[in-house]
A = this chain, B = another copy of it.
Amino acid sequence: MTFPTPLTGVVPPVCTPLTPDRGVDVRSLVRLVDHLVEAGVDGLFVLGSSSEAAYLTDDQRRLVVETVVGHVAGALPVLAGAIDMTTPRVLDHVRSVSAAGADAVVVTAPFYTRTHPSEIARHFRLVASGSPVPVIAYDLPASVHSKLPPGLVLELAADGVLAGLKDSSGDLASFRAVVTGAREHPGIGGFSVLTGSELLVDSALALGADGAVPGLANVDPHGYVRLDRFCRTGDWGRARAEQERLCVLFGMVAAGDPIRMGGSSAGLGAFKAALYLRGVIACPATADPQIPLSEDEVERVGKFLAGAGLL
């Protein structure tokens, strides 16, 4: 389908259900997509952080895109991450996911290497010139270890290099600079400014963001769709109440013991445990080398679901 300009609304970063032996569970993935689409989301983002893209092999990545694109069949736009260290490797993924039908690619700055701001700009320009589909910048300093400056994002937007920004930096002031900058720049039109936050969707939409890409929307897509609708109609009181409810639900990411596992394990493990407990996916396994949640920890996730009326 044609990529919307701008893309707006709720665009969940789709989890990648795995089998007990860590293959992609295609049937669960299809069920998860149905679960999201039926809740009324506005797009799907596969191969992002919540999708465990960093853990999936190239074959698995291709299978995920083909499965989701094939299943939604143009009903809504599918964005795909092209997550790798540098330009040539990213371009390989861009070719692969766009061939598999992705409507746009989501790309970070180079990581692992020590990269200068001018090289980050060059990276996005080279990726865009080699991509058959629009390029969304993915700002994720916790993983990439550099922050995309708003000025750079706006410059690349004005030059037609970038079609949007997915901002998971946690820095709402910097995000606001892109939102207002994109709105006021005469040469920028149709640019999508999306927040990756689960916890500040109302704040982001209130200051003018186009949409949200919250990992927790896997677990409660109806909640985020409601939140988005409240914001669009200016019902800020109910938006805030819905957002605060989702903040409480998000507490599940701390169910895993931080003495025993990392943040990825705990957060992704909780989302998958919740999807498993809700009957959406068949197995809560996360990819290696992540430590799985214990039975007790899964039970704690269940309590968050029960508290939110989702069980």
Contacts and interface: CB of A to CB of B under 8 A. Distances in A.
Interface of A: 22, 54-58, 60, 83, 85-89, 92, 110-116, 118-120, 122-123, 126, 142-145, 170-173, 176-177, 180, 197, 199-200, 202-203, 206-208, 236, 240, 244, 247, 259-265, 287-291
A90 to B, nearest CB: 10
B240 A207 contact: yes
B54 A85 contact: yes
B173 A199 contact: yes
Given A116-B291, A288-B122, A291-B122, A58 B92 contact: yes
A116 B207 contact: no
A260 B116 CA distance: 8
Contacts of A86: 54-55, 287-289
A152 to B, nearest CB: 13
A282 B112 CA distance: 27
A196 to B, nearest CB: 11
Given A88-B56, A122-B288, A247-B176, A144 B112 contact: yes
A151 to B, nearest CB: 9
Contacts of A265: 116, 119
Contacts of A92: 57-58
Contacts of A172: 170, 172, 200, 203
A265 to B, nearest CB: 7
16 contacts: A54-B86, A54-B112, A55-B86, A55-B88, A57-B89, A86-B288, A111-B112, A114-B142, A116-B265, A119-B262, A123-B288, A172-B172, A173-B200, A176-B247, A206-B236, A208-B240
B55 A262 contact: no
A108 to B, nearest CB: 9
Nearest to A122: B289
A240 B183 CA distance: 14
A84 to B, nearest CB: 8
A58 B92 CA distance: 9
Contacts of A208: 240
Contacts of A144: 112
Nearest to A151: B254
A263 B110 CA distance: 13
The 7 lowest CB-CB distance pairs between A and B, nearest first, are A116-B262, A123-B289, A114-B263, A173-B199, A122-B289, A87-B288, A54-B85
Given A55-B88, A116-B291, A126-B289, 11 more contacts: A57-B92, A58-B89, A60-B88, A88-B287, A111-B111, A115-B262, A115-B264, A119-B291, A120-B289, A206-B206, A259-B259
